[in-house]
Amino acid sequence: MFIPSTAGAFASTASADGSSPTEPVRHMLFGSPSAVQVTIQQLHHLNYAEPNDWSQLLPTGRPNEVMAILTKRVRAA
């Protein structure tokens, strides 16, 4: 599930092996519920993100449109 950006704010971003720190990157998907679910599954099959790492589908206020959010940590260059 989606973890708010304030969660874990006091955790260290340096890895145990001393490699470069990580930074959060937020991905947002917009579309019909089925299109968003298919995209989440495709990203899972590409080993990019686990389906449970995404937020629940959130209504956008537009007919037949939802959004899903993923916060992923990536290594900073």
User: 63 is written with which tokens?
Assistant: 């007919």
pTM for the whole thing?
A: 0.70
Report the pLDDT value the prediction gives residue 1, as an integer from 0 to 100: 46
Separation of alpha carbons 25 and 66, rounded Å: 20
pLDDT score, position 76: 81
What tens digit of pLDDT does each residue of 13-61 get? Answer: 444 555 678 999 999 999 999 999 999 999 999 999 999 999 999 999 9
Q: Span 5-17, mean pLDDT?
A: 46
CA–CA dist 49, 71 (Å, integer):
10
Per-residue confidence band for 9, with pLDDT thresholds at 50, 70 and 90:
very low
State the alpha helices, DSSP H only, in the chain.
33-45
Query: In terms of DSSP H, where are the helices of 12-58?
Result: 33-45
Is the distance from CB of 41 to CB of 51 less than 8 angstroms? Answer: yes
Residues 24-35: tens digit of each pLDDT: 999 999 999 999
d(CA 49, CA 45): 9
